[in-house]
Amino acid sequence: MNQQDQVFNPNFLTRKRQVGDKLADDFVERSFNNPASKQALREYLANLNDNTQLGNLPLAYINEPLFTLAARLPEWANVKQMEQGAAFFARYANLVMNMLGLLSLPYCYAAADGARVLYLSERIRNDTAKRLQETGDFVWEVMAPNAFSADGKAFASILKVRLIHAAARYYTLQSGQWNTADWGLPVNQEDMAGTNLSFSLLVIRGLRKLDIAVSYDEQQSFMHLWNVIGSLSGLEDNFLPDDGKQAIALEQAISSHQFKPSTEGRALTKALTNYFTSLNLQPPFGSKETVQLMRFLIGDEVADILALPAGKAPATVINLLKLSGTLQQFKRQPSANATYNKQYNSFKKQQESFS
């Protein structure tokens, strides 16, 4: 990771917009140029479910660094911090998962050039529910207490996402609808860094907005865990902040460089809010209050960029969420495994009630 304060100036960020993930991109280009290899990769990924499978690679992949290194932690990874980060997630899991839809995703849509590739893919616009479910499943898999153990799923899930990003770059560049000179590569280093921050720093920020007293050690552990995930996803080390100060500096630099109103970002946000409306949620957490809560969490400046409706979230709604967080904060917690399983089962029941 960063060994000294990184100066995240506009020139640096602009250069990094021209950088993707060479290891994954080279592999995808070779595979996709051969129909048989492409089909073999599709079938392999469809059956890749846990970390153990990465120890028994097909013959075609045994000399591919993308696969042979996929289950190897970065040298700087601190396993104890990762475990503490997972325990922090388990304690506040349901609140964190709510943050993804109400804060993390719309935050990403405010980055105009980064939103373009999501808009062109049409997945979030045409099947919002499935996209949210896929994001949720990924987070649960990488945040599990055993995520990076042999019986976990993190390494496998991260490799899948890394290849999905490489495929998105490949297809978007082939589409003839992409202006690399002005927009950078699709899913470039700056975009990936912003996404990683939206799942780490922004979640911490959202929890603190709900008066949850996240300690420095909890913040460090949670962000360290996401740094590991980011690194395994192909994010360069100079985009992996060592502490909250560096993370804030990077977030401010990216938002200053990329956040502006865009047709694509607003369309993605509209698809997200339409999905919440379609759930027919009832007060105090009705669809109107949900959108107002989104504005409360991301702040008026970003909310205006995304053209979110004006209006403050009722104090009763905010206070109920604060109470939920407070109860979790002071509630005696069993083991991380037990807490995770309880929160996961609760989350799945909530999902089923929406379907």
Q: What is the mean pLDDT of residues 224-241?
A: 98
Domain ranges of the chain: 10-354
Q: What is the mean pLDDT of residues 36-40?
A: 93
Percent of the chain with pLDDT over 90: 74
Q: How far apart are CA 196 and CA 231, in angstroms?
A: 10
Q: Which of 32, 23, 29, 34 is nearest to 66 (CA)?
A: 23
Residue entry with tokens 């506040």: 92
3-state SS, residue 111: strand
Q: With 60 as the cut, is the pLDDT of residue 330 above it?
A: no
Q: Which of 169, 161, 160, 190 is nearest to 117 (CA)?
A: 169
Is 318 in contact with 293 (CB distance < 8 Å)?
yes
Residue type, 3: Q
Q: How far apart are CA 137 and CA 37, in angstroms?
A: 27
- SS3 per-residue string spanning 65-125: HHHHCCCCCCCCCCHHHHHHHHHHHHHCHHHHHHHHHHHHHHHHHCEHHHHHHHHHHCHHH
Q: What b-and-e string marks burial along 270-288, b requiring 16 or more CB atoms within 10 Å of the CB?
A: ebbbebbeeeeeeeebbbb
- Convert the pLDDT of each residue in 91-122 to its tens digit: 999 899 989 999 999 999 999 999 999 999 87
pLDDT band at 332 (very low <50, low <70, confident <90, very high): low
* pLDDT given at position 53: 93
* pLDDT given at position 3: 44
- Give φ, ψ of 310 to 5 degrees: -70, 160
Q: With 80 as the cut, is the pLDDT of residue 184 above it?
A: yes
Q: What is the mean pLDDT of residues 238-260?
A: 96
- Convert the pLDDT of each residue in 10-25 to its tens digit: 999 999 999 999 999 9
Q: How far apart are CA 355 and CA 342, in angstroms?
A: 21
Q: With 60 as the cut, is the pLDDT of residue 274 above it?
A: yes
